[in-house]
Amino acid sequence: MVVVGGIAVGLAVYHAVRTFQAVRRERQISQEFPLPNLPENVSAEYRSALLSVAGTVQKVVLRYSDHPQAIAALALLHYLSHDSDGEIRCWQRCLIIDPKHPLACSRLVALFQQEGDFGEVATLMERAIAHDPKNPNYRGIRASALRHLDRPDEAKRLVEEQLRLTPGNAELFVVLGLVCQRLNEFQTALQALEAAYVLAPGRVDVLYSLANLCSRLGDSNRADFFRREFHRIKSQQLESESRMGMRHIIQDELFLPERLSEILRYAGEACLAHGDLELAEECFAKALERNSADQEALASLLLIQQAQGRWAEAEKLLRQFKEAAENRR
């Protein structure tokens, strides 16, 4: 009896310790990756929609914070909440887990550029190149950042190296043109910007740079032409932006179902990778509720149902998906 009692006490202590450790871990994760504070200047419907997925995202992050897609889901929730600091922290964590995470790289570049922090952009791209040297975009982004950091010689070497690998890249020619202007290599700059114009004739930054450069080189006719094109296209863009409205209205509220579906799908992918089929199915089903056209969420949900031998449910789901697609036409 004493032995049995001792075992029971030992088991009770063991479970109490495990429970304490789990609670402490959840508290640490919640502090490291908190849910965003929702913005004040949004509609009640928008706020309600974000709250409807926040609980699921939090549950997935608490369980699987070691998976990049769980943190990516939280990062996108911060994005929709207009919380750039929280979004940056999440994407940085994604890159620690998966240094090649493409969305983490692209969003961090956009956020750092938005803040004018080109030192962070240059450092980020240096690491990205080391992890993925064949990516055609990273050298151009790093070269652009080096230009802003007044390191034109390094920028020129980097962009010329990439142009030998991807010669038809307009962005690379833009960076080369701007760098060569900084180095007073005006003819090379002109050739690079002209190449960019041929590849992307609607880019206002190219038109603006060409107008200024042609004027500097004494070619007033071409300067006038590029200036007129710049004003024509810029006015069209301003008119379009005016019609569409503010960022959180046109990008967030208009595309909110797609954004929420993407968040839930990322969360589901983290669960699926850990073999948590129940929570994964919940995430993918909610993703389809938000956006019935999400084919990736559908495929993942069908995979779970078929793997569990739930063929009738899978057939019904596929039929409903096809009917919804027909109704959208």
CA–CA separation, 305 and 310 (whole Å): 5
Which pLDDT does position 15 carry in this prediction?
Answer: 46
How is the chain split into domains, by residue range?
54-246, 256-328
**pLDDT tens column, 66-113:** 999 999 999 999 999 999 999 999 999 999 999 999 999 999 999 999
CA–CA separation, 209 and 169 (whole Å): 17
Pick one of 3.40.50.300, 1.25.40.10, 3.40.50.1370, 1.10.260.40 as the CATH number of 256-328.
1.25.40.10
CA–CA separation, 129 and 243 (whole Å): 39
Which pLDDT does position 12 carry in this prediction?
Answer: 52
Q: Phi first, then psi: what are they for 97, rounded to 5°? A: -75, -45
How many contiguous H segments (helices) and E segments (strands) does the chain have? 17, 0
Amino acid found at 325: A
pTM of the model: 0.82
The three-state DSSP-derived secondary structure of 277-294 is HHHHHHHHHHHHHHCCCC
Residues 6 or more apart in contact with residue 106 via CB below 8 angstroms: none
Which pLDDT does position 41 carry in this prediction?
Answer: 80
Which pLDDT does position 18 carry in this prediction?
Answer: 52
**pLDDT tens column, 12-36:** 554 444 554 555 666 777 677 789 9
Ranges in the chain, pLDDT < 50:
14-17, 20, 244-246, 248
Could you please state the CATH topology (level 3) that the domain comprising 54-246 is classified under: 1.25.40
- Token readout for 139 is 């050298």
